[in-house]
Amino acid sequence: MSGLASVAGIHSVRAALKFGTEGVAELWLERTRRDRRLSEVADLARQAGVKVRQVDRDELDGAAEGANHQGVLAWVRVPAARAEQDLTALLDRLQTPPFLLLLDEVQDPHNLGACLRTAEAAGVQAVIAPRDNAVGLTPVVCKVASGAAETLPYIQVTNLARVMDALKERGIWLIGTAGEAAEDLYGVDLRGPLGLVLGSEGSGLRRLTRERCDALVRLPMLGQVESLNVSVAAGVCLYEALRQRR
């Protein structure tokens, strides 16, 4: 379906249905499958005003593209990325110390979707990325994010370095990741106003981004590989921050 992303599986579909018709355009159920959990999901959809359609297993398999759909799939509307002024308004409204994730030119939609999903779970209030040379919110991103793209603000900015300067003026401490950093992630205080900054899949942090970080940290690498996938690195950093902040 044009402009929509498919979200498959009972848990992911339940999460998507929280947003009703605003987030979900249509629910597909496997025609011949009888399952109490599927009946509950169908009831949730009808209560939310979402159209429920019975389809054959082959049609579900094709739409799910290999995902384990468990007999149910939701067609989710792809949200629009937010603008820089939305970040200012969000920060002005916060009642708790800011906890942000900044992604410098992440271009793989699977990586962005995974980052959004983990960031939302860890309590991040917004994900910030440059508008150019970075992936936006696409059907693939929304599918991988499993509902997080609808709840977590994804803010695209014209000039990431300038936005980092503005965050620092607000007292937000910016911690970047770099393999050559002298300090270990686990030795840094990640409490208080915080922005974690991760670079692109290939080249990492750009020079101007790196220069604006208050500190650079590395993740311990005890094996033979030189670096982690950016979404995995984001998960490690976010959950260490969450551990400290709790």
List binding-site positions for S-adenosyl-L-methionine: 199, 219, 228
CA–CA distance, 122 with 119 (Å, rounded to integer) = 5
DSSP state of 176: E
**141 with 149: CB under 8 angstroms?**
yes
CA-based nearest residue to 10, from 49, 53, 39: 39
User: Which ranges constitute the DSSP H helices of the chain?
Assistant: 10-17, 20-23, 36-47, 57-64, 84-93, 109-122, 139-145, 148-151, 160-169, 207-211, 230-245
Reduce the secondary structure of 24-38 to three states and give it as a string.
EEEEEEECCCCCHHH
Beta bridge partners of 156: 129
Two tokens at 7?
Answer: 């979200």
Residue list for the binding site: 199, 219, 228
